[in-house]
Amino acid sequence: MKGEARTLEIINKIREHRENEKQLEWRGTFKEYLELVKEYPHIAQTSHSRVYNMIKDAGVVERDNQKMYKFFGDDIFGLEESLEKLVEEYFHSAARRLDVKKRILMLMGPVSGGKSTIVTMLKRGLEQYTRTDAGAVYAIEGCPMHEDPLHLIPPHLREDFYEEYGISVEGHLSPLNMMRLEKEYNGNIEDVMVERIFFSEDKRIGVGTFSPSDPKSQDIADLTGSIDFSTIAEYGSESDPRAYRFDGELNKANRGIMEFQEMLKCDEKFLWHLLSLSEEGNFKAGRFALISADELIVAHTNEAEYKAFINNKKNEALHSRIIVMNIPYNLKVTEEERIYEKMIDKSDMANVHIAPHALRTAAIFSILTRLKEPKNQSVDLVKKMKLYDGEELEGFKEQDVEELKKEYQDEGMDGIDPRYVINRISSAIIRKDVQSINALDVLRSLKDGLDQHASISDEDKERYLDFIAAARKEYDEAAKKEVQKAFVYSYEESAKTLMDNYLDNVEAYCNKNKIKDPLTGEEMSPDEKLMRSIEEQIGISENAKRAFREEILIRISAYARKGKKFDYNSHERLREAIQQKLFADLKDVVKITTSTKTPDESQLKKINEVIARLIDEHGYNSVSANELLRYVGSLLNR
Ligand SMILES: Nc1ncnc2c1ncn2[C@@H]1O[C@H](COP(=O)(O)OP(=O)(O)O)[C@@H](O)[C@H]1O
Ligand SMILES: [Mg+2]
């Protein structure tokens, strides 16, 4: 497309967007609004209820008794249990007007564990949701606090209203709208103009963020608004609500959500406002009667800060007004990998080649630092890590995983955070000066970083070094497998040859025959050594070998009777034994081919084949594939 055409396209899109927004607009009298409420009662829901419905409407799937919310699905990984608790125990209960609504929501968890991300998703989500039918919100027109129009219903009529509409109205009309009702509408409630509003943090509608600055200089006005001295002369008095600017964060976030950053670092006087707001649904501003507000307040903190707060007697009254939800680190390797992928996609490293297993290896390290030592003696930390990630390990059942999880209530509240890992990956890239890094580069960088990490104690450092070694071990296994697989594929033929050979021997063994050497025609006894070397791969003992061999012969004749061909895939365990034997045999080929400094022609051909396969089928580039081969070569020669 030419530049001009592209500009035109963008302009058209902007116009379209504007027209869509226009379509959503609504303006009418309070009387008309009531008709709307009659038809669509959900437009009058509380802020908590709207947040809950937003999450629910995005879709919930249940798997293995675990709810998963699509709302969080694209950005938060591995925190299903915590999110279910948060949504059910807080949002759902609060939506039903239960007591939890009266408490400030406090997300508590370790640094970079996703708390801010969750809050941001709620904020951005609400902005979108209020642009849908299900999430529509209406307010008294021109009100700086976007006051709920239902506040116009006089208290003595609210019972009747409830009878008729099934909606209980909480909160009373603000001093400003009370005055406007008199002055602009002559007290005629039904004429008061109502409009549909669309949340937008940028425009300060329904979404706000409060972050404390220096506690000594910070003004409560940031939270609750302030007198507008320039208009006092016009209105004659400081207590005229028109001379007040309702532009604090609490005012602006009314009907929606306010994020309270660093709440526990805040001066107490700020917290008391919140208390009354959450508990009574109102707060005090200027010289006015209490102002009703309906908003979800969400704060976040780490464990240490929270404990200090709890231990301070002065804060006692606040404790019971806060509901704490744990947001621990993710504890699943596979999900941790996804976190890194997401963070890298969003960073300036997005076009760097990251070799397969690099992120997984880093994830293994991180998860190990977060897990607590199992009390169950038969499980070590690496096994626990695998079980948590849903791997099936021999001798363990699903029940065992549940038992492990129950051993600790507060797992995942410390350890290495995702941002640290991303920083180390980034510095590995800078140091290597190649647009390609592998698992070893990452591990090395993680290790180097431990010295610079201020908050790691010497004791932890020792443990972490062990975890780096453990992650390295896992990587070594994966690397060897990957290379062997790449070799084996070209050996598909040899798998078949090996099996045919095995079957000939088995047949002779069972029928007490000799077999003929294909070359010399010489008669020989069955090759016991060959048969055993294959059977041992899947743990068939000397005593069990006869039964196994006979079973195979029976299978072959059953196949023959049905006119089917017995091949490589016809007997699962046999196939596995052959594959493993091949791997074991290949070890030498791989070892020699990968480590030779002066490959001959056929070795060179093999190497190129393997590298091509690593690139085409396994996600490597030529740098990382060569690095992998060299590394596996050195491993096999140890
Ligand atoms: N469980 C997780 N799922 C997805 N991303 C995560 C998760 N935990 C941390 N992150 C990512 O790590 C980074 C730091 O998270 P952040 O939300 O700022 O943490 P916090 O506010 O708890 O310190 C963000 O890029 C975030 O997306
Ligand atoms: Mg944060």
52-107 per-position pLDDT tens digit: 999 999 999 998 889 999 999 999 999 999 999 999 999 999 898 777 777 889 99
Q: Considering only CA atoms, which residue is closest to atom 25 of ligand 1?
A: 343
Nearest CA to ligand 1 atom 23: 112
Look at the block and give the residue holding tokens 């908590």: 48
Q: Which residues line ligand 1 (CB under 6 A)?
A: 75-79, 109, 111-117, 330, 339, 343, 418-419
| pLDDT above 90 for 569 | no
Distance from residue 267's CA to the centre of ligand 1 (Å): 27
Taking the centre of ligand 2 as the mean of its atom positions, its distance from the CA of residue 211, in whole angstroms, is 12
Which residue(s) pair with 249 in the sheet? none
Pocket test for ligand 1, best of 71, 77, 108, 117 (most atoms within 8 A of CB): 117
Q: Which of 48-52, 141-145, 225-229 is least confident? A: 225-229
**Of the candidates 187, 136, 144, which has an alpha carbon nearest to the alpha carbon of residue 291?**
144
Dump pLDDT digits (tens) for 572-616.
Answer: 789 889 888 888 877 777 888 887 778 888 888 989 999 999 999
Q: What is the pLDDT of residues 302-320, one digit of tens each?
A: 988 999 988 888 888 788 8
Atom of ligand 1 nearest to the CA of 343: 25
* pLDDT mean across residues, the chain: 90
| Nearest bound ligand to the CA of residue 262 | 2
**What's this model's pTM, rounded to 2 decimal places?**
0.85
Centre of ligand 2 to C-alpha 81, Å, is 20
Residue 215's pLDDT band, with cuts at 50, 70 and 90, is low
* H-run or E-run covering 208: strand 207-210
| Best CA proximity match to 168, nearest among 150, 152, 148 | 150
Strand-strand pairing, 291-292 and 296-301: unpaired
Strand partners, 7: none
Closest to 124 measured CA to CA, from 196, 201, 59: 201
Region for residue 226 given its phi and psi (left: phi exceeds 0; alpha: psi -120 to 50; beta: otherwise): beta
Q: What is the mean pLDDT of residues 14-21?
A: 87
Backbone angles phi, psi at 627, to 5 degrees: -60, -40
CB atoms within 10 A of CB 343: 16
> What's the whole-number mean pLDDT along residues 232-239?
77
Distances (CA, A) of 12 to 20, 150, 591: 12, 39, 62
Ligand 2 centroid–CA 112 distance in Å is: 6
Is the pLDDT at 513 greater than 70? The verdict is: yes
* Angstrom distance (rounded) from CA 228 to CA 217: 19
Query: Which atom in ligand 1 lies closest to the alpha carbon of residue 300?
Result: 21
396 C-alpha to ligand 2 centroid (Å): 37
Confidence band of 230 (pLDDT split at 50, 70, 90) = confident
Q: What pLDDT score was predicted for residue 529?
A: 93
The pLDDT value recorded for residue 248 is: 87
pLDDT at 136 over 60: yes
Q: Which ligand does the CA of 117 lie closest to?
A: 1
Q: Between the CA of residue 201 and those of 209, 282, 410, 620, what are the distances in Å?
A: 8, 22, 34, 43
Provide the residue type at 68 as one letter: M
What per-residue confidence (pLDDT) applies to 272?
76
Of 316, 321, 217, nearest to 260 (Cα)? 321
The Å distance, Cα 418 to ligand 1 centre, comes to 7
Ligand 1 atom at minimum distance from 330 CA: 1
